[in-house]
Structure 1
């Protein structure tokens, strides 16, 4: 949520290079912490975003990975996308996809005009179980 109490959106473009994958992970961690996600939920979301980006990195045809972080409390949605070769979709039976889907409420992959977008959504909970 922005300081005005309304929904907010953050956009990020990084080179499709493993050296930059920590950037979207750090951004989602900061946004989740500012929006009342528990420590465990923040860690899960960081790992899920890391996996989504890692799936896209080797397939990014133009060398760019885009991330859009949509904050609409209590939900945080992340859309990681890249231009990919025609017909490529992530293997939903892979270990990376299994990890990704286990850590968030929902995960989906879709293509539109050669751009593959992996969307993950998580919701903040009021308390953390210790």
Structure 2
């Protein structure tokens, strides 16, 4: 067996772009645990603390719930991760023919805005997207 080397997690590709991971799931709450598990695994590889990882899991759960509430029946949940040296940027989106306006007073938004370093919602006809960025508490 030969060993292969992999690029440092949180590095950049040979072309100088940040590492990216994409996941497509049925827009069904039954698959939210897959998204949370992948997110936690990526954060662990970035050496996020246990508390950071748990906060991120909660934030991802809230973001996914927001998107799932707006997703069209039979839609696909598109999730993408951009991995930096000390941060994880996540986008969760789904097709939504008639999404409602974001509710910035909702409990879910308050949790997301508290746990993420950056958070945003795009609600346009045809697509509902939640974006968030979480940095490691160990980052200086």
TM-score where L is the length of structure 2: 0.82
Q: Which residue number in structure 1 is paired with residue 19 of structure 2?
A: 8
Question: How far apart, CA to CA, are the structure 1 residues paired with 2:101 and 2:92?
Answer: 13
Q: Which residue number in structure 1 is paired with residue 131 of structure 2?
A: 119
Q: Which residue number in structure 1 is paired with residue 15 of structure 2?
A: none
Question: How far apart, CA to CA, are the structure 2 residues paired with 1:17 and 1:124?
Answer: 29
Kindly report the root-mean-square deviation, in angstroms, between the aligned alpha carbons of the 2 structures: 1.9
Deviations 1:63-89 (A, max 9, x none): 211110110111100100011133523
The list of structure 1 runs, each at least 4 consecutive aligned residues, that deviate by more than 4 angstroms after superposition, is none
* Deviation (angstroms), 1:104: 1.1
Question: How far apart, CA to CA, are the structure 1 residues paired with 2:114 and 2:63?
Answer: 12
Task: Give the gaps of 5 or more residues in structure 1.
Answer: none
How many residues align? The count is 126
Partner SS, residue 103 of structure 2: coil
Q: Which residue number in structure 2 is paired with residue 35 of structure 1?
A: 46
TM-score where L is the length of structure 1: 0.88
**Greater CA radius of gyration, 1 or 2?**
2
Task: Give the gaps of 5 or more residues in structure 2.
Answer: 1-5, 13-17
Question: How far apart, CA to CA, are the structure 1 residues paired with 2:137 and 2:114?
Answer: 17
Which of 36, 52, 61 lines up with 1:50 in the alignment? 61
Q: Which residue number in structure 1 is paired with residue 3 of structure 2?
A: none
